[in-house]
């Protein structure tokens, strides 16, 4: 008899549905400096929509706003269908702890049809993931160990010497242990970059994502056949300014298909 143990990602995004609310709890596998890794919360928000009995279509876009630092422990999620159209479906989602709103989000699902299609940007040319060494995480928050990250440029500046620092990173990324990709893990990977300010500056200042948006450019069936292969992430900041900076990224399948684009606004202390 085989005892199948759930993947830590699946455990972390497990929800139960009762009286029109979803219930879950944070996982130590995805702990960040303070509270949980934002990517796992974003995936959990999306999970509530995907599990909702009225959900139609596949994820198209998600915006999550971190109104407060989610606390370790239990939480409830209120997932409201704002509107259902023929092609798109709109959701408003709130994550609640101790009767206060910690996170708000909007999610759009959509029905895709075969149409004229073009990709207007090329995947960066990089070594294959087999040729790149895994990033060694020492004294890092737990979530870093939940990924196999292989940076080809733009590691945190405190770890390496760079003559001309920039805010751009290109990395292969994969769940650790390996797990077949789906919309949930793709969402979490949109946040699985080190904060741009640590790549650009040596000083480790306090930071926190305030809002993150993900656009899904792949169909469910594409992700379902992609399996446990790594994803190429390419990210940069455009402006650090008076307490807030952006982080913009593309996530690619290794076959050159653009799976997702994402952007986030991040608070930094000084």
Interface residues with a second copy (CB under 8 A)? 60-61, 63, 65, 67-68, 82-83, 85, 87-88, 90, 92, 94, 100-101, 104-106, 108, 110-121, 166-168, 200-201, 210-211, 213, 215, 217-219, 236-244, 246, 248, 250, 258, 261, 263, 265, 267-270
At closest approach, how far in Å is the CB of 39 from a second copy?
Answer: 18
150 versus 236: smaller Cβ distance to a second copy? 236
- End-to-end C-alpha distance for the chain, whole angstroms: 56
| Rounded-to-10 torsion of CA 165, 167, 175, 52 | 170
10 versus 208: smaller Cβ distance to a second copy? 208
User: How many Cβ atoms are within 10 Å of 227's Cβ, its own excluded?
Assistant: 10
Task: List the structure tokens of 123.
Answer: 């995947």
23 versus 92: smaller Cβ distance to a second copy? 92
* Beta carbons within 8 Å of 150's beta carbon, 6+ residues apart: 129, 132, 133, 134, 135, 171, 172, 173, 230
131 versus 257: smaller Cβ distance to a second copy? 257
At closest approach, how far in Å is the CB of 173 from a second copy?
Answer: 19
At closest approach, how far in Å is the CB of 250 from a second copy?
Answer: 7
At closest approach, how far in Å is the CB of 143 from a second copy?
Answer: 23
At closest approach, how far in Å is the CB of 35 from a second copy?
Answer: 14
Name the residue among 30, 33, 31 with its Cα closest to residue 9.
30
176 versus 215: smaller Cβ distance to a second copy? 215
CA distance 70 to 102: 6
CA distance 123 to 250: 9
């Amino acid at each position: 008899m085989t005892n199948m143990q759930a993947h830590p990602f699946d455990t972390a995004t497990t929800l139960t549905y009762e009286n029109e609310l979803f219930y879950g709890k944070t996982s130590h596998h995805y702990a960040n400096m303070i509270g949980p890794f934002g990517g796992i919360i974003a995936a959990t928000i999306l999970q509530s929509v995907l599990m909702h009995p009225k959900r139609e279509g596949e994820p198209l876009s998600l915006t999550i706003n971190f109104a407060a630092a989610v606390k370790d422990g239990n939480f409830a999620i209120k997932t409201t269908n704002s509107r259902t159209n023929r092609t798109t479906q709109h959701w408003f989602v709130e994550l609640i702890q101790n009767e206060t709103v910690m996170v708000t989000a909007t999610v759009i699902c959509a029905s895709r049809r075969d149409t004229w299609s073009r990709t207007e940007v090329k995947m960066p040319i990089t070594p294959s993931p087999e040729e790149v060494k895994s990033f060694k995480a020492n004294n890092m928050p737990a979530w870093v160990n939940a990924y196999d990250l292989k940076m080809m440029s733009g590691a945190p500046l405190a770890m390496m010497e760079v003559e001309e620092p920039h805010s751009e990173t290109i990395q292969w990324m994969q769940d650790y242990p390996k797990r077949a990709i789906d919309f949930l893990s793709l969402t979490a990977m949109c946040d699985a970059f080190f904060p741009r300010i640590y790549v650009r500056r040596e000083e480790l200042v306090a930071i926190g994502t305030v809002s993150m948006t993900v656009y899904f450019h792949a169909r469910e069936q594409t992700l379902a056949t992609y399996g446990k292969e790594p994803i190429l992430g390419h990210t940069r900041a455009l402006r650090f300014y008076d307490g807030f900076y952006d982080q913009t990224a593309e996530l690619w399948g290794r076959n050159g298909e653009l799976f997702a684009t994402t952007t986030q606004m991040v608070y930094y202390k000084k």
